[in-house]
Amino acid sequence: MSRSSSWAREALAVFGKDCLLELRTRVALGAVLLFAVTSVVASGFALAPPSGVAGEVKASLLWVIVFFAAIAGLSRVFVVEEETRTADALRLAVSPTGVFVGKLAFNIALMWALCVVTVPLYLLLLEVPVRHWSLFVTVVILGSTALACATTAVGAIVAKATMRGALFGVLAFPVALPPLLVAIHATKAAWLSEGGWRMATGDLQVLVGFMLVIVPASLLVFEHIWSE
C-alpha cells in the first residue's frame, strides 16, 4: 500500500470516529449551535427592522457570530482526546498527518453544520436583502472552511495548555483574522453591491490562497505539536 493512500485512509478513520463520537455526545455541535443561535436571536431582537441598521453592519455581525461560535467548539476535537486520555492511543495508531487531516475534516463539517443552521436563521430574523445568492453561498462555504483551516492547528496547541477555553480565543483570533476580514468584505459585495461576483473575485481568491498556505503550514508544525 502506498504512503499517500495510507494517510488518507487514516484521516478518513479519524474523521469517522470523531463523527460517531459527536453523534453520541453532541458536545461540540451543542456548544457551537447553542452559542450561534442565541447570538443570532439576540441580534435579531436588537437589530431587526425597523431599526434601520445598515447592511454593512449586518454583514460584519454575521461573521463575528460565526467566528465566536467556532471558538466555542473547534478546539473540542483535540481537547477531548487529552481529557479522555486517548491521545496516546491515537498517536500509536495513526500518523500525525492522518490525525490532522481527519480532525480538520471534522472541523470543516462542524463549521458547515453551524452555517447551515445559523445563516438562514440570521437572514430570516434580520431581513437581509441578498442580491447575489450564488456568490453569497460561495462566500459562506469558502469562509467557513477557511476559518476551520485557520483554527484547527491552534486547537491542537490549546489542548496541550492550561486554561484552554480562554486561550483558544486569544490564540485563534490573529490567525483567523485574514479570512474573517475577507469574508466580511465579500459578504457585503454579495448583499449590497451591484457588481457582485466582479467585486468579490479578489476576495474569493484570497480565501482560497489563504487555505492553500495555512493548511500546509499547519501540517508542517502539527507533527511537533502532536508528538510528545
Partner 1 sequence: MNAVAKILTGVWIAGVTVAAFLWLPPAQGFRSPESARIVVFHVPCAILTFVAFLVNAWYSWFYLRRREPLLDMKASVAAELGLLFAVLATVTGSLFAMEQWGSAWNWDPRETSIVMLMLVYAAYFVLRGAVEESGKRARLSAAYALLAFPAMVFLIWIMPRIVESLHPTNTLFTGSGLDPVYRITLWSFFVGMMAVFVWMFRLRLRVEMLEARVRRRRQTEPEPTLTGVQP
Provide the Cα torsion 69, 100, 154, 211; round to 10°.
-80
Work out whether 157 is an interface residue with partner 1 (CB under 8 A). yes
Q: How far apart are CA 190 and CA 14, in angstroms?
A: 36
Which DSSP letter does residue 53 get?
A: -
Per DSSP, the three-state class of 124 is: helix
Angstrom distances, CA of residue 147 to CA of 9, 62, 63, 93, 96: 24, 14, 10, 28, 21
Which residue type is seen at 222? Answer: F
Per-residue mark of binding to partner 1, 101-140 (x: CB under 8 A) = ----------------------------------------
Q: How far apart are CA 69 and CA 43, in angstroms?
A: 14
Q: Which of 30, 165, 195, 202 binds partner 1 (CB under 8 A)?
A: 202
Work out whether 44 is an interface residue with partner 1 (CB under 8 A). no
Q: How far apart are CA 137 and CA 191, in angstroms?
A: 11
Q: With contacts defined by CB under 8 A, how many residues of the chain interact with partner 1?
A: 33
Closest to partner 1 by CB, 43 vs 218, is 218
Which residue type is seen at 189? Answer: A
Work out whether 165 is an interface residue with partner 1 (CB under 8 A). no
Closest to partner 1 by CB, 46 vs 161, is 161
The minimum distance between CB 46 and partner 1, in angstroms, equals 24
The minimum distance between CB 221 and partner 1, in angstroms, equals 4
Q: Which of 114, 182, 192, 204 binds partner 1 (CB under 8 A)?
A: 182
Q: Give the binding site for partner 1 (CB under 8 A).
A: 150, 153-154, 157, 160-163, 167, 170-171, 173-178, 181-182, 185, 202, 206, 209-210, 213-214, 217-218, 220-222, 224-225
